[in-house]
A = this chain, B = another copy of it.
Amino acid sequence: MTGHPSTRLDDTVHQRVRLGILTILATAGRADFTYLRDNLEVTDGNLGRHLEVLYQAGYVEIEKTFEGRRPRTWVSITRAGRRALKEHILALRQMIDEVPGG
């Protein structure tokens, strides 16, 4: 691995809302759409678009269920998602650990 750690940051993971989604899912295992939306303070449409990017990358799985007549969407992180997040965090730590007082 050469070059500045920022060159190893993957924009799919790094984008602010997506990094939020992945860190929540890596901690909780899975979360429902409403929980993610409220915690990340985004609109339904915005969250939907970011989930689609993560889904296309193979980093999350999305399951639509019904509880009674109420639809509920569960989002979980895949093994590839955990690995991508872990590598991302490694690069982030290398960057920020060098900053005096950071």
Residue ranges of A at the interface with B (Cβ–Cβ < 8 Å) = 3-7, 9, 11, 14, 16-17, 19-20, 23-24, 26-27, 39-41, 85-86, 89, 92-93, 95-96, 98-102
Q: Are A99 and B89 in contact (CB under 8 A)?
A: yes
Q: Enumerate the 9 nearest inter-chain pairs by beta-carbon distance, A residue then B residue, closest first.
A: A6-B20, A89-B102, A9-B16, A4-B39, A26-B99, A89-B96, A23-B95, A7-B41, A27-B98
Residues of B within 8 A of A14 (CB): 14, 16
Give CA–CA (A3, B16) in the complex, Å: 14
Contact (Cβ within 8 A) A86 B101: yes
In the complex, the answer to whether A96 meets B92 with C-beta atoms within 8 Å is yes
